[in-house]
Chains A and B, each alone.
Chain A
């Protein structure tokens, strides 16, 4: 198996607080890799280092053979990394279909293209692709609605469609089911399983163990800014270190 994301020796401090401490992570192509751990373990901080929101103090983050460090968020997206946020980040004032057309255009035209004279609705391929993706996440009948009017669960699915339409090589999911009802959570799990068939590598941060164990091929457990355990779901389930971390026993 080839590894698509290589994280080596990453450290990050805020003031005196060490948020990430020598993090090592290797994500293999085509897998679903879950990162779990108690609050404040550094999961989101690590994710922010992948997408250009934060820069680690030391260490390397290599994606598909190139370093992601020092790259702007849009540059990182352009090399094939898309992210779903903890609270859905969508274009609230625009229609659903426009929400999905924008990432489609970004993939097609690159980070900047000055084309003020072309009609956006005349680019059939972009519209078709966007509508197709909306159908994939069961939002096709709401495609002309304004995105802000959606329920929270629908917003999450919309955001997922916005990421998937870009055919990313790596998809980062930050608590994709946080704040969802059980029914919505199960729906999302089904959806994620379905898109799993496309072979997109995914990193999932999640608190809900039900979600983690239904999706992940591999799990890394973080506590106090470092990876304390790593393995297949069955291995992690029985690992005493993991239970310790969750029960607070990690404060040695």
Chain B
């Protein structure tokens, strides 16, 4: 367990950045070294880092964060349609709009705590989802989802004399197309920035207050702290992270649909955060990576692959094993996800980071003095 000194944090950030930037190399052996999947790691990693600031640090369980992801996507696609295919304005507007949206929802939801807060956020997210499908169709294009067309105005692109002709345009960063590795590195750099911000928040007086809210909000009030603006700031910041993640989803694939706002999507980011370890710094990124990786692997499995995997078993046993394990892969990936959810909450409520910590402790056996480091504080 490492003390959270400024020097150690620099090492942590350096190591994190190096690991992320070299991910295409070291993830290749496990079949995850290709840009599409790497992009997902980075985007959902960002989403989870932001969610962790609210849930992990501050202790407020939001069940509606997918709404901000969706809003970010819509804002980004509108920026592509109206202004330019350059991703920077899209990212900027997505963060801005989702931040404002989070400010409004947070202002109301944070008037309550505990499960009431969870239900309020859930209610707002479901309202957004339902409205996106119905009356807001002019903005969201309903069930079809918001897409690019060749007739979009793209004012800034027109002014710069960029013409995509009859083909559908692709997103770019000053001429570099946001597909393949450039796309991944764009997301990766933003995730590293997001991680640095999260580390700084965790070590700041502001972050200390957030953890104090989680620990004992009542005491904090009687200590002279007005807790609501702190919690609201955490809510808005995490909403902006979600909006950024939504924008990046749109940057890599410029369309936005309402299903991104559904409450199961909100549940997924909760799972990523607790799987990795709520309240830890690396945990959420780790959790997002694990889930997206296994989603990718498990969804691709089918009957034939399973048969070949269990080829070594006697015929009758092979049949049984394949049938049972077949429930968990392919279409059945969600079953695995649900089971994982339960196992983690039951046996490892501190998440994988706590598991790593326990193993490390077993090896060292010197864990006498308890440690106060943020990165090892167990999640609730």
Contacts and interface: CB of A to CB of B under 8 A. Distances in A.
Contacts of A94: 208, 211-212, 215, 372, 377
Interface stretch (B132-140, B179-187, B224-232, B260-268): B224-232
28 contacts: A72-B226, A74-B223, A85-B222, A91-B215, A92-B216, A93-B211, A93-B377, A94-B211, A97-B372, A98-B208, A101-B208, A102-B208, A102-B220, A103-B223, A105-B205, A111-B224, A112-B226, A113-B206, A114-B229, A114-B233, A115-B206, A117-B200, A120-B205, A120-B208, A144-B369, A144-B370, A145-B369, A146-B372
B6 A119 contact: yes
B5 interface: yes
Given A119-B6, A121-B203, A144-B371, A107 B219 contact: no
Contacts of A113: 205-206
B54 to A, nearest CB: 14
B206 A102 contact: no
A112 B230 contact: yes
Given A74-B224, A106-B224, A120-B205, 15 more contacts: A73-B222, A74-B221, A85-B222, A89-B219, A95-B372, A98-B208, A101-B208, A113-B206, A117-B200, A118-B205, A119-B203, A120-B204, A121-B203, A123-B205, A149-B370
B216 A90 contact: yes
A73 B219 CA distance: 10
A136 B223 CA distance: 19
Nearest to A172: B222
A80 to B, nearest CB: 9
Interface of A: 51, 72-74, 77-78, 82-83, 85, 89-95, 97-98, 101-103, 105-107, 109-123, 144-146, 149, 162, 166
Given A93-B214, A94-B212, A98-B372, A111 B207 contact: no
B223 A162 contact: yes
B218 interface: yes
Interface residues of B, number: 37
B195 to A, nearest CB: 14
Nearest to B53: A116
B209 interface: yes
B88 interface: no
Contacts of B216: 89-92
Nearest to A111: B226
Given A144-B370, A149-B370, A102 B221 contact: no
Contacts of A120: 203-205, 207-208
B268 to A, nearest CB: 26
B205 to A, nearest CB: 5
Nearest to B377: A93
A54 to B, nearest CB: 13
Interface centre among B6, B201, B216, B223 (most CB of A within 10 A): B223
Contacts of B229: 112, 114
Contacts of B24: none
